[in-house]
Amino acid sequence: MFTVEKIRADFPILTQQINNQPLVYLDSAATSQKPQSVITATERFYTQQNANVHRGRHTLSEQATSAYEAARDKIARYFNVQSREIVWTKGATESINLVANGLSQQLDKNSSIVISPLEHHANIVPWQQLAMKTGASLHVLPIQSNATININACVKFLKSVKPTVFAITHASNALGNITNLGPLLRTVDEFNTITLIDGAQSAMHLQPNLQSLDCDFYVFSAHKMLGPTGIGGLYGKYERLNSLLPNQTGGEMIESVSLTHSTFRDAPGKFEAGTPNIAGVLGFAAAIDYLNSLDKVAVHAHEQMLFSYAMSKLNNIDGIKIYSDIDSNIGTICFNYKDEHPFDIATLLDGYGVAVRSGHHCTQPLMTHLGINGSVRASFAFYNTVQDIDAFIKALQESIALLD
């Protein structure tokens, strides 16, 4: 059974006081908090298991290697794909760069890349760079003025561009809006388009079945899924994945090396040059175990209840403007109060122990699209409570009173 109090006891940081107030952590879209089991798994690696992987024949090294590869199996099962289709990276940013750089010889001036205005900079800049390198044209999906997607208009657009590459987020980090990917991906299927889904925000909240989603690439970061920072991954449909050029070369990714020539391993090995973040991978595996242990239906219902409750409370405050889509959302609210600077609101909230994000959220084009410079963002996870929302709203009302 899902009991939020029991869940919270697994997250040591949540008992902290910040500015002499109980911590109200509403910044899980930036990074999630970590359960004790993840912290313990990372520590256990250094205290009991530390050895390099894929190298030694001694017991510790063999144990580290099998734990490292078992973690790959675990994340593959989480997304319902094959282990050889998972590459470890530093996170979503590195994964997108890996794909964009890896495609550099597959695109030319006749190619086209489609992105959307909803994207995090990590899913914009690498494609701009690829377009510059290859001469490919860069196109932007026409979304509505309130940043929601009109499927018919976007399908029509995709049919006219017939993109070589289509990269889009599964859930907006600034707004929390969930993209209805099905019709968009089905549309480009007939053009043999290479599709990349930015799953940084959806991987924990939506746990997509990547086989049924049927995208070519999907990127994710462990730290937004209860895991450590500096580790994440790339899923790639095997043939597509294996066709990419490696981003980095060196030890471990080779098949054979002479002084004048080298051959590379097949994926995923050819994308994992050098000593990886082994402790991070094991911590990530513990995070997946933790997520798997939860009642997913209850977790989802709890997150949606928190989101609706916070939405209704915010809507009752005069002068608050909300930019997030209420109908299809992972649990993130993007808002402003009159023309007050979001940094001022966030700083005042911090005085009450309430942690929210403020600024452009690495989505400057989206902020421009919405006609704002930035916003306040409150993002929820299953370890948040109704009391958290009440404390947030009370702190917001008191902050606003100070500003008015």
Ligand X SMILES: Cc1ncc(COP(=O)(O)O)c(C=O)c1O
Q: Does 169 bind ligand X (CB under 6 A)?
A: yes
Q: Does 198 bind ligand X (CB under 6 A)?
A: yes
Q: Does 329 bind ligand X (CB under 6 A)?
A: no
Closer to ligand X by Cβ: residue 22 or 230:
230
Q: Is 175 helix (H, G, I), strand (E, B) or coil?
A: coil
Burial grade of 377 (CB within 10 A; 0-12, 13-18, 19 or more): buried
Side-chain-side CA neighbours of 211 within 13 Å: the count stands at 8
Closer to ligand X by Cβ: residue 203 or 348:
203
Closer to ligand X by Cβ: residue 61 or 328:
328
Closer to ligand X by Cβ: residue 199 or 246:
199
Q: Does 91 bind ligand X (CB under 6 A)?
A: yes
Min. distance of Cβ 126 from ligand X in angstroms? 11
Give the span between the Cα atoms of 261 and 278, in whole angstroms. Answer: 29
Min. distance of Cβ 197 from ligand X in angstroms? 10
CB 165, CB 193: distance < 8 Å: yes
Partners of 92 in beta bridges: none
Closer to ligand X by Cβ: residue 163 or 233:
233
Q: Does 120 bind ligand X (CB under 6 A)?
A: yes
Size of the site for ligand X (CB under 6 A): 13
Q: Measured over all CA atoms, what is the biggest interatomic distance in the chain, rounded to whole angstroms? A: 71
* Binding residue (CB under 6 A) for ligand X from 32, 33, 42, 93: 93
Q: Does 310 bind ligand X (CB under 6 A)?
A: no
Amino acid (1-letter code) at residue 253: M
* Residue 270 backbone dihedrals phi, psi, to 5 degrees: -70, -10
* Binding residue (CB under 6 A) for ligand X from 64, 100, 130, 200: 200
Q: Kindly indicate which of the ranges 52-60, 87-95, 149-157, 233-241 contains the residues binding ligand X, using the contact rule CB under 6 A.
A: 87-95
CB 267, CB 241: distance < 8 Å: yes
Closer to ligand X by Cβ: residue 9 or 206:
206
Radius of gyration of the chain (CA): 22
Site string for ligand X, 222-261 (x = CB under 6 A): ----------x-----------------------------
Comparing C-alpha atoms, which of 172, 173, 369 is closest to residue 181?
172
Q: Does 154 bind ligand X (CB under 6 A)?
A: no
Q: Is 154 assigned a catalytic role?
A: no
* Residue 106 backbone dihedrals phi, psi, to 5 degrees: -100, -10
Q: Is 112 helix (H, G, I), strand (E, B) or coil?
A: strand
Q: Does 34 bind ligand X (CB under 6 A)?
A: no
3-state helix, strand, coil in the chain (%, to 5): 45, 15, 40
Q: Does 28 bind ligand X (CB under 6 A)?
A: no
Burial grade of 106 (CB within 10 A; 0-12, 13-18, 19 or more): middle
Catalytic residues: 362
- Which residues contact ligand X by CB under 6 A? 91-93, 120, 122-123, 169, 173, 198, 200-201, 221, 232
